[in-house]
Structure 1
Amino acid sequence: MTRLHKNQHPRRWVPGNHFELLENGEEFFPRVFEAIAQARREVMLETFILFEDKIGQALHAALLGAAQRGVQVHVLVDGFGSPDLSDRYVGSLTEAGVRFRIFDPGRSFMGQRLNVLRRMHRKIVVVDGQLGFIGGINYSADHVADFGPEAKQDYSVQVRGPIVAQMHHFTREAVLDDAGRKHQPSASITGRPHAGTARAMFVTRDNHHHTNDIEHHYRVALRTARHRVVIANAYFFPGYRFIREMRRAARRGVDVRLILQGQPDMPIVKAAASLLYDHLLRAGVRIYEYCDRPLHGKVALVDDEWATVGSSNLDPLSLSLNLEANVIIQDNAFNARLHRRLSHLMDNSCKQVEATAPSRWDGLRLLRSYAVFHLMRWFPTWAGWLPRHQPVIALASPQEVGVPNVPPAQPGAAA
C-alpha cells in the first residue's frame, strides 16, 4: 500500500478542444469500450462504482483484451463504492497485467462499511493520452434503460484536444501512486494538436489544495449570468454562498432553473432538497423535479457559452469531502446541445414545483428555511472537523486475491 500524495495542476483556460455530450449508458459505454479496444499504449481509468454485472463484465473484457495485447492498463476504484468485486474478477485482470488499485479499501464492522467519508468519487478515462471521458456515469447496469424503472438519467462527455493532457497528467499522478516517486512535470499542452474551438478548464476537488475549486467556478458563473442558468444535479444541498448567488441571479432577472430528483434513488435526497424550495422559489428560481426515473446527472449551463459536466454533486459530500473532477467548457455549440437536452427533460419528463400558498404555517416554514440556510452557511467549517485520515491506495496482485490462472470472464455474464 502506498499513501496518496497531493495533486496539483494549472487552473487556466485551454483552447482548441472538442466535446461531445454522451447521455446515459447507451451512448457512454459503447464509446468507452471501443476506445479501450483501440488503445495502443495506455488506458487510465478511475471510477467510484464498478459492479460485477453485465456492464462490469463488458468493461472487464475490454480491459483484459487491451492488457493481453500489451497495452498498459491502470484502474483505480473506490473501496466504498466498489466493495464486492470477486477475487475471480480482479485476479483475472491482474494475471493479464492490469494494475488494479483500490482507493482506501476499508474493512467492515458487523457488516457495515466504515470508510464512508472522503471518497474517491471521480469518473475519468484517458486513452493513449489523447482521448478522454469525464462525467457522472459509473460502470453498472443501472445506467442503461433496460435495467428498469431504477435506471439512472446521467451525462458524460468525450473529450479531444489539449485539455486531455491535463486530465492525463492528473490521472497518472492519482493512479500511479508510487511511494517516494518524483512525478514528472505536467505534460505540455502547447504542442498538443487542436481538435475543436472549445476553451476548457479541468477542475478537481481534494482535501488539501483544491478544497472548493468546483464550487468556486459555479459561483463565479452564477455571479456573471445575464439571461439563463440551468442546473441539473442529482444530490442538491449546497452551501450558503451558492444558494445566495442563485437567489441574486434570479432577482436580477436571470431565468434560473433547477432540475432535481422527483423519483430519488434515496428518499432522503428529495427530503433534503425540498427544505430549500421555499427559499429558492421566493427569489424567483424555477424548480423542476425529474419524474421518469432517478436523476444522477451533474451538469449545468450558464448563458450561451459556459457549461460544466463532471462527477461533483452539489451536496456536502461532493463540495466538502469527496474527491471530484469536472470539466468546464466555453463553447456555444456544446452549450446549445446541452440546453436542448435539458429543455427536453423539463418539457417532457419533469413536474414544475409551485410555490406554497400562504397559510398559517408560513411562520414555521420561514423558521425552517432560516435554520437550513444557516446550517449550510457553516457546514464547510464543520466538515473540516470530520475525520481527515490519509487514505491509502492498495495495489491488487494475483497472489493477494488468490486466483492464479483464472479464465477471463465473458462479456454480458451475470454478476
Structure 2
Amino acid sequence: MKQKHILKWLGIALGVYLLYGVLTAILVPLPQKEATGELWSQYEARLSEDASQERVRSIEDTDSALLWRLQLIESAEREVIFSTFDLRADGSGQDLMAALYGAAQRGVQVRVIVDGLNGFLHLQNSGVLRALAAEENVEVRFYDPIDLLRPWKLNYRLHDKYLIADGSKYILGGRNSNDLFLGSYQENQNIDRDVLVVSDGGEGSSVSQLLTYFKSVWSQPENKTITGKTSSQTDALQERYAALCTVHGKELAAVDWEVETAAVTHVSLLSGSPRAEAKAPELWDALVRLMAQGDDVLLQTPYIICNDKMYNDLEALAETRQLRVLTNAVENGANPSGCSDYLREKQNILSRGVDVYEAVCGQSLHTKTILIGDDLSIVGSFNADMRSAYLDTELMLVIESEEVNAALRQESVQYIDQSRLALHDGGTEYGARFEEMTLPWAKRALYTILSVVQRPIRHLL
C-alpha cells in the first residue's frame, strides 16, 4: 500500500510538472514585443562609413557547401569559429569535426557553439564530439541547454549558421551541418544557400560585425561548456582527417580566394538579439525597411507563418511594388507545421496583394533569400515566420551588388519554372517545367488536423 501511495503522488507530481511545462512554454512567449528601429539605425549608420574591401560568392549545391567549409578550416592559421543550429555526427558532420581537429592539431584555436536542444538530441552522447572537445586548442559550448526548471526556455534557439577563419573569411547562410545539407552522403537533400565572404577585416567590415556578434552569443550565461574525453574516437578523427587530406588534398592546399569571389559595393550584417529570451522583431523590421527600397521584391522562404503585424507589413509593401514569395508547395514541403499553416492561411496571404510561387521540385527548398530591385541581395537564416522574428537568434547578410543580385535571380528561375504561381487576384499560372504532384489523402488529412490543433501555438512554429 505504501508503494502504491508513493507512486500515486509521483504520478500527480509528474502531471503537475507537465502541465506547468506546457502552459509556461506556450504562455511565456505569447506577449510579442514591438520593434524600436534600433537595428535599422545601426544599419543606416554603417552605410555612411567607408566601405571595407569585401568579396562574395554564393554557394548553391551541397558538395560545394561541404568542400568550401573544409577549405576554409584548412586555410586557418590562428582561429576558427563555428556556429550552427544542427550539427550531427553523420558523414558530413564527422568531416567537419575531423577538419576542426586537424586545425587544432596544428595550433589553431577552435571554438564551436551548437544550439543546446539539437546538441542534446544529436550530440549529447557523441564520442566524436567529446574527442574533438578533448583537444587542447578546442572549446565546445551548447547554447541555452535544456533547463527542466524553466521549460519555456526551450523556445529560444540558436538558429545561426556560420564559419569564420582568421577573422578574414567566413561562410554564412541557411545550411545546417549534417547530411541533409552538406556533401553527398544521402540521396534526398534540401536545397539551400550560403555565401562566402572574403574581407580585409577592417573595423567596419561585415566580418568584424560577425565577430562582435559571436562574442555576445559565446558569452551568454546559460551556455554549457562540453567536456572532452579522449577515446578511440580520437584515433578515428585523426584517420578521417588524413583521409580528407588524401581525397581533397589538391582543393584544400591552394585556394585563390580573390579569383573565387567577386568584388561587391557593400556587405553588412543584420543580427537579432543574442539572448535566449523573447525578442523584439528588430530583424524583421529592418528587412521590411529594406524591401521598401525596391520596386521588385522576391522573398524566398521555406514556409510562411506570420502574425497580423507581419501580414500587414507585407500588405503595405505589396501596395506600392511587386512582391512575390517563392516557397514550397504543400506537396513538396518538408515541414508539416509550415504546410498545414499555409493551407489555412493561403487566402489571407493572397488577399494582402502578395503573389506566391509554390515550388514542386522534388527537394524541399530551405533557402532564405530576399532579392530587392537589381542590386540588393539578403541571404541568411531568417524564415518568414514568427519563430525567426520573435524567438530565435537569426542572421541575414545584406549584399549590395548588381552582379550578385543578377546571379541569384537567375538561380531562382529554375525553381520558379517548377512552380505554380498563385496570384493575389485569384488567378493561377504554371511554370514551364511545373509538374503536378498529388498530395496523398493521409497527408492532407494530417495537415487539416494540424492546421486546427496548432492554432494556439502558431507563435512558436
Does the Cα contact within 8 Å between 1:120 and 1:324 map onto a contact in 2?
yes
Which stretch has the larger CA shift, 70-79 or 338-347?
Answer: 338-347
Over aligned residue pairs, what C-alpha RMSD do you find? 3.3
Structure 1: which 5+ runs fail to align? 1-7, 180-192, 359-371, 384-415
Single out whichever of 265-274 and 67-76 deviates more from structure 2. Answer: 265-274
- Bigger relative contact order (CA 8 A; separation at least 6): 1
CA shift digits 1:163-187 (9 cap, x unpaired) = 11111222133225689xxxxxxxx
Is structure 2 residue 164 aligned with structure 1 residue 95? no
- Name the CA distance, whole Å, in 2 between partners of 1:274 and 1:299: 22
The reply to whether residue 124 of structure 1 matches residue 162 of structure 2 is yes
Greater helix percent: which structure?
Answer: 2
* Cα 1:236–1:149 shift into 2, 3 Å: farther
Q: Is 2:263 aligned against 1:220?
A: no
**Given the two structures, how large is their TM-score scaled by the length of structure 1?**
0.73
2:371 equivalent to 1:295: no
Q: Give the structure 1 partner of residue 111 of structure 2.
A: 74
Say whether the 8 Å CA contact 2:279–2:389 is kept in structure 1: no
Given the alignment, which residue of 163, 167, 172 partners 2:206? Answer: 163
Report 1:247-326 matches (<5 A): 247-252=315-320, 254-262=321-329, 263-291=332-360, 292-326=362-396
Residues 349-408 of structure 1: CA deviation (Å, up to 9, x unaligned): 3232366979xxxxxxxxxxxxx9xx99xx99x88xxxxxxxxxxxxxxxxxxxxxxxxx
Paired position in structure 1 for 2:173: 135
Displacement of 1:281 = 2.5
- Count of residues in correspondence between the two structures: 340
Q: Does 1:205 align with 2:279?
A: no
Q: Percent identity?
A: 23
Contact 2:378 2:398 in 1 (8 A): yes
SS of equivalent residue, structure 1 residue 141: coil
**Paired residue type of 1:203:** L
Q: Relative to 1, partners in 2 of residues 1:158 and 1:210: Cα closer, same or farther, differing over 3 Å?
A: farther
Matching residue's letter, 1:352: L
Does the alignment pair 1:43 with 2:80? yes
Given the superposition, is the C-alpha separation of residues 238 and 80 from structure 1 closer, same or farther in structure 2, using an over 3 Å criterion?
Answer: same
Q: Label 1:223 to 1:89 Cα distance change in 2 as closer, same or farther (>3 A).
A: same
Q: Is the alpha carbon distance of 1:245 and 1:356 closer, same or farther for their aligned partners in structure 2, counting shifts above 3 Å? A: closer
- Post-superposition offset of 1:61: 0.8
**Which blocks of at least 5 consecutive residues in structure 2 are unaligned?**
1-38, 200-204, 223-257, 428-450
| Preserved CA contact (<8 Å) 2:192 2:365 | yes
Would the aligned equivalents of 2:65 and 2:182 in 1 still touch at CA under 8 Å?
A: no
Q: Check the 8 A contact 1:166/1:202 in 2, yes or no.
A: yes
TM-score by length of 2: 0.66
Q: Secondary structure at the match of 1:56?
A: helix
Instruction: Provide the rounded CA distance (Å) in 1 between the counterparts of 2:141 and 2:416.
Output: 40
Aligned 8 A contact 1:259 1:288 in 2: yes
Whether the aligned pair in 2 keeps the contact of 1:137 and 1:155 (CA below 8 Å) is yes
- Residues 44, 73 of structure 1: 8 Å contact kept: yes
Alignment partners' CA distance in 1, 2:78 and 2:183: 33
